Amino acid sequence: MAATSLQKQLEEAAKQQIISAEQAAALGQFLQPSETAPRFTFEHILYYLGGLLAIGAMTLFLSFSWERFGGLGILLVSAIYAIIGGLLAHRLREQQRHIPAAICIVFVVCLMPVMTYGVLHWLGWWSVETQYSLASRPQWITLELVTIIAGLIALWRYQYPFIMLPLALALWQFSMDGALFLLDDRSWVLREQTSMVFGLILIVVALWADIRTHHRGDYAFWLYMVGVLTFWGGMSLLDSGNEWRRLIYFIINLVLIGVGAMLVRRVFIIVGAIGSTLYLSHLANDLFSDSWLFPVSLAAIGLLILWSGVLWQRHHAVITEKTRLLLPLALRQLLDAKN
């Protein structure tokens, strides 16, 4: 509900003497969304655009000039920007501007592996010629561990949910490089399987964080985002092999849609819908390309789904109540808070 609409309703309630004018003002102040609440305004676009440009410039585009700067140059430049980002975050935090402060903290966290790379390059412990070989995996793992440690320290110190994003991405990359290094295998199958397993674990961790911290902030948002995308991405890239595996893929995507609806998390629904569409496109273009029965059957299934929606609207309260009784108490409390 928009803040203006809420304010009008409170004013109308005060006019009808349902509540007093003082109570209406107090309720309006209490129910007004905070700066850290999920919103998408123009200033937020500027915050995230500027932050992502700065992070991208220092962590990605700097690679174009690594040889020109040298290890010591990279260390000094990234250290200067880290100090600037830290001071700016401290100033913004004092001004209660938590969203840009969180972006600045993430900027500093993302500079930690760049600084570490500069140190390794300066000391001659990083070979540019073999930086993508299996032998260089320990160096990459070192950068990822530094990012994870920096992210954990920043999360403990500042407690901004946005810090979960670089932390989750670093953990994902750490799992990928760790698996490649330990198993001495560079095949894409291992990468896809590792991504699936990591994503599934991260989704479970996100659910735990959602249950434990939903009343303090949405710390699970970025964990869900990275977990679902890495799980679904690895699963989608795996070679299905036969129609039974493709059918299982379709069923898993339907389950993702259901989980997303239950947890009120759009990322599950979006990837589940994309995966389901990919499977149906496969059926239409490959398996039943010349069959008139497929579009007829698909239309019938669509009508059945529509009718199931009508039945759900009629009986959803009873079904939801009985289903929630089967869930653990902590999960029921989470769902009640979301609804």
CA 177 to chain centre: 20
Query: Which phi and psi (to 5°) does residue 230 adopt?
Result: -70, -40
Distance of CA 203 to the CA centre of its chain: 10
What are the pLDDT digits (tens) for 141-162? Answer: 999 999 999 999 999 999 999 9
pLDDT band at 31 (very low <50, low <70, confident <90, very high): low
**Which letter, b or e, does each residue of 103-138 get, where b requires 16 or more Cβ atoms within 10 Å of its Cβ?**
bbbbbbbbbbbbbbbbbbbbeeebeeeeeeeeebbe
Name the residue ranges covered by the structural domains of the chain.
296-339
Is 76 buried (19+), middle (13-18) or exposed (0-12) by CB count in 10 A?
A: middle
pTM exceeds 0.85 for this model: no
Output the six-digit token pair for 125. Answer: 């412990």
Long-range contacts of the stretch 37-43 (C-beta < 8 A, 24+): 38/218, 38/221
DSSP sequence for 72-116: HHHHHHHHHHHHHHHHHHHHHHHTT-HHHHHHHHHHHHHHHHHHH
Strongest mean pLDDT among 20-24, 193-197, 332-336 = 193-197
pLDDT(133) > 70: no
Tokens of 186: 């560079």
Q: Tell me which residue has tokens 């989704």.
A: 203
From residue 208, alpha-carbon distances to 57, 152, 223 in Å are: 34, 17, 10
User: What gap in Å lies between CA 44 and CA 37, rounded to an integer?
Assistant: 12
Residue 172, CA distances (Å) to 15, 53, 97, 141, 230 in order: 56, 22, 30, 11, 8
Report how far apart the first and last C-alpha atoms of the chain are (Å, whole number).
Answer: 14
- Per-residue pLDDT reduced to its tens digit, 287-338: 776 677 777 777 877 788 788 778 877 877 777 777 777 778 877 777 777 6
Q: Given a cut of 70, is residue 251 above it in pLDDT?
A: yes
Q: Of 195, 206, 94, whose CA–CA distance to 161 is shortest?
A: 206
**Average pLDDT of every residue of the chain:** 83
Cα separation of 206 and 309, whole Å?
29
Distance CA 293, CA 236 (A): 27
Under 8 Å between Cβ of 220 and 213 = yes
Give 84-93's long-range contacts (Cβ < 8 A, gap of 24+): 85/54, 85/111, 89/158, 93/158
pLDDT at 36: 47
Considering Cα of 162, then 165, then 170, then 175, what sign does the dihedral take? positive
Per-residue pLDDT of 263-276, as tens digits, reads 888 899 899 989 98
Q: How many CA atoms lie within 13 A of 81 on its CB side?
A: 24
Structure tokens at 100: 């840009």
| The CA-based dihedral angle spanning residues 281, 285, 286, 289, taken in that order and rounded to the nearest 10 degrees | 130
User: What is the pLDDT at residue 333?
Assistant: 78
Count of residues making up the chain: 339
Helix pair 188-213, 329-338: axis angle to 10 deg = 80
- Segment 247-256 shows an average pLDDT of 92
